Structure 1
Amino acid sequence: SGTATRLPDGSEAWPGWEDCAVPPARLGPYLRDFRALLAQHGLRGTPYGHFGDGCIHVRIDFDLLTPPGIRRFRQFSYDLGELVVAHGGSLSGEHGDGQARAELLPKMYGPALVGLFERFKDLWDPAAGLNPGMLVRPARLDANLRFAVLPRRPVPVEFGYPQDGGDFSAAVRRCVGVAKCRTAATGSGSADVMCPSFRATGEEQHSTRGRARLLHEMLAGEVVTDGWRSAEVRDALDLCLSCKGCRSDCPVGVDMATYKAEFLHHHYADRPRPAAHHVLGRLPEWLRAAAPAAPVLNALARTPLAAVGKRLAGITPERPVPRLATEPFTRWWWRRRRESEAAPKTQAGPVVILWPDTFTNFLSPEVG
């Protein structure tokens, strides 16, 4: 379902009619009529789902940002509701009705039966306090749309977001809640890495989806009201490793590492950053300066002075200080090269470029 959220040309497609079902014997005629209805409204979508059971999922390129687009969404919904019923189908096959379809239920059940639904709910919920406006006396299907509260114009940002037209809101709304980021562990042979912070905590706010949702609320300004200065968003992003696992694993290409960098740039604009940002952000420089004194620093790391250093650096006390390599990878490489140059010449092999990262170079040169 996440893959279907992007059409082949990269444009957005949305749920709303992803769950209707018809008798399997009527599936062929229904799909032909469905495609004709899409064309009539100038819409596109790729059906998928449980065709053997007659249940069709589809994401459609509705324009849910402009009044004309929302009017077309509403009219299409009414027309498709009539089409599904005409084929003897159900407006919902497996996901339920809710506000997206409740307004259309009289088409399927008839006004009299829907009236019985209302009377039954009133018996148990006379104050209408339980999930109001969803199934009986529902809100309009085009009311309370998720994007209605987002800024109408792109907010000023530092990154380009070329795949989203330079619009940070468009980048954030890539997330459609597929929840592939909520995997507890990789399966046998799986190469997925998303999302390590969720695997460690099991908490929604530390998943890619949870962070995207909080960024959405930040832009909306209704629940998260302090914008780029939001402590809630900052705390949710704090455990993000910026590993870019979501950039490759997420079916819609959410890039939380970039979103985090964008947020932190604005969050700390014109005010000091925490010590840990300076310590870890400049880690390559610190490790390069510390390399000549590695034996001494390794010894000090096993003394009470280490606790003081971690406190000053903003590092959690439980985190052990990594041992510095007494010979960084680059130094080992140049020493080895000098030794090879002094040895008798042999036939030259292919040129290999080595680009050791900071951790390999100064902490684990044996990996290289």
Structure 2
Amino acid sequence: RAEAVVRAADVVDALVVTDPAGQRRLWRVREDASGTATRMPDGSEAWPGWEDCAVPPARLGAYLRDFRALLTAHGLRGTPYGHFGDGCIHVRIDFDLMTDAGVARFRRFSEELADLVVAHGGSLSGEHGDGQARAELLPRMYGEETVALFARAKGVWDPDDLLNPGMLVRPAPLDTDLRFSVLPREPVDVEFGYPADGGDFSAAVRRCVGVAKCRTTSVTGSGVMCPSFRATGDEAHSTRGRARLLHEMLAGEVVTDGWRSTEVRDALDLCLSCKGCRSDCPVEVDMATYKAEFLHHHYAGRRRPAAHYTMGWLPVWLRWAARARVAPVVNALASVRPLAAVAKRLGGIAGER
């Protein structure tokens, strides 16, 4: 019956997947789409901003042709996807939000696209809220008189403007308070290469777009991340939370002590460097490398915790023990409880190990 329904839509081909493993693979494609869509085929960044404008379904074809023409006119790229049957379109566009010229183009495109949506009888927000990204443009859809009525109603019920200020009436300009405007414009001096991000550590941190696969607590499936979040249930110990803290560290507004930040250090402390995020995250956030980068700078010129020398240098010690033929002696001493307890305390190793 499912295949008959799909074929009735005049599609090119159809396939009903009944194998559980095949179904999981298909669902992963769907679940990862909001993350993978933030990367263009050449690896460059793409961002939301026009995620859910909608037009009447009968106008969809004409709107999409005009939309693509507008992208081309502004030298932008984006692949529409979403609820085509409902006329609701999602798209991530390769806006340059790191330069003044790129932000100016973002503004011009947004204004022209708002006019285009309205011309096709559509809505600037077909599924989610308007927020700061659309509020400035609402007079183009509703008209100045109706938006003024919104303001009067808000003035009656919220005279002190406490509830979502600037999100519907008296909005901030759509190109202010952009997330990346506070990040450093020049690449940060780092030790790792970050080849997929042009050697730019802040670009690597920007990979996280909040998909939240790192917050899964399911024990089914093939994913592993994020072990520390599974254990603590604390956002600060998820890959997403750590990426956000690194973002704040680079911005320097909330986390003000840079590489010396104890907040970032504590959030990274439980990271196992298991590389689960590198394989499971749809945008391949590599928190293990970010942690190594941070710790290198955090302890530069300072003594590290004892565990960094004992556990961190364990391969060195093991090679030495093998060459010196002292492994049997070390193993024998480690089985003596008092000696083992002292060694673990001095080595910064948990006594329960």
TM-score range, shorter chain: 0.7 to 0.9
1:316 counterpart = 2:350: yes
Q: Distance in 2 between matches of 1:305 and 1:86?
A: 80
Distance verdict in 2 for CA 1:316–1:116, change over 3 Å: farther
Q: In structure 1, list runs of 5 or more residues that go unmatched.
A: 322-368
Q: Aligned-pair distance for 1:259? A: 0.7
1:56 counterpart = 2:56: no
Could you give the per-residue CA deviations for residues 81-110 of structure 1, whole angstroms, max 9, x where no partner exists?
111111121111222110000001111222
Q: Aligned-pair distance for 1:305? A: 4.6
Q: Say how many residue pairs are matched.
A: 315
Q: Distance in 2 between matches of 1:111 and 1:32?
A: 29
1:292 counterpart = 2:323: no
Provide the residue aligned with 1:199 in structure 2. Answer: 230
AA at the equivalent of 1:309: A
Provide the residue aligned with 1:208 in structure 2. Answer: 239
AA at the equivalent of 1:241: L
Distance verdict in 2 for CA 1:285–1:127, change over 3 Å: same
1:172 counterpart = 2:205: yes
Aligned residue runs from structure 1 range 216-227, under 5 A: 216-227=247-258
Q: Distance in 1 between matches of 2:170 and 2:134?
A: 12
Q: Distance in 2 between matches of 1:148 and 1:181?
A: 26
- Which of residues 260, 275, 286 is equivalent to 2:291? 260
**Higher mean Cα deviation, 139-148 or 307-316?**
307-316
Could you give the per-residue CA deviations for residues 302-359 of structure 1, whole angstroms, max 9, x where no partner exists?
x355443332222234xx33xxxxxxxxxxxxxxxxxxxxxxxxxxxxxxxxxxxxxx
Could you give the per-residue CA deviations for residues 177-226 of structure 1, whole angstroms, max 9, x where no partner exists?
11111111242xx2211211111111111111111111110000000000
Q: Aligned-pair distance for 1:278? A: 0.9
Identity of matched residues, %: 79
- Which of residues 21, 29, 45 is equivalent to 2:62? 29
Provide the residue aligned with 1:273 in structure 2. Answer: 304
Q: Distance in 2 between matches of 1:248 and 1:87?
A: 42
Provide the residue aligned with 2:14 in structure 1. Answer: none
AA at the equivalent of 2:270: L
- Matched residue of 1:49: which SS? strand
AA at the equivalent of 1:201: T
Q: Distance in 2 between matches of 1:168 and 1:197?
A: 23
AA at the equivalent of 1:284: P
Provide the residue aligned with 1:228 in structure 2. Answer: 259
- TM superposition score normalised by structure 2: 0.85
**Higher mean Cα deviation, 205-214 or 108-117?**
108-117
Shift >4 Å, 4+ stretches: none
Distance verdict in 2 for CA 1:66–1:123, change over 3 Å: same
Q: Distance in 2 between matches of 1:117 and 1:313?
A: 64
Provide the residue aligned with 2:107 in structure 1. Answer: 74
AA at the equivalent of 2:102: G
AA at the equivalent of 1:115: A
Q: Distance in 2 between matches of 1:295 and 1:229?
A: 38
1:43 counterpart = 2:57: no
Q: Aligned-pair distance for 1:298? A: 5.2
- TM superposition score normalised by structure 1: 0.82
Aligned residue runs from structure 1 range 234-249, under 5 A: 234-249=265-280
- Matched residue of 1:2: which SS? helix
Q: Aligned-pair distance for 1:270? A: 0.3
- Matched residue of 1:5: which SS? coil
- Matched residue of 2:181: which SS? helix
Which protein is bigger by CA-based radius of gyration? 1
Q: Aligned-pair distance for 1:137? A: 0.3
- Matched residue of 2:82: which SS? strand
Distance verdict in 2 for CA 1:112–1:271, change over 3 Å: same
Q: In structure 2, list runs of 5 or more residues that go unmatched.
A: 1-33
Q: Aligned-pair distance for 1:124? A: 2.6
Provide the residue aligned with 1:85 in structure 2. Answer: 118
Provide the residue aligned with 2:31 in structure 1. Answer: none
Q: Distance in 2 between matches of 1:129 and 1:297?
A: 66
**Higher mean Cα deviation, 127-136 or 158-167?**
127-136
- Which of residues 133, 138, 162 is equivalent to 2:166? 133
- Matched residue of 1:56: which SS? strand
1:159 counterpart = 2:192: yes
CA contact (8 A) 2:124 2:134 kept: yes
Provide the residue aligned with 1:108 in structure 2. Answer: 141
Q: Distance in 2 between matches of 1:307 and 1:112?
A: 76
AA at the equivalent of 1:64: L
Q: Distance in 2 between matches of 1:186 and 1:123?
A: 50
1:250 counterpart = 2:250: no
AA at the equivalent of 1:90: S
Provide the residue aligned with 2:11 in structure 1. Answer: none
Q: Aligned-pair distance for 1:2? A: 0.7
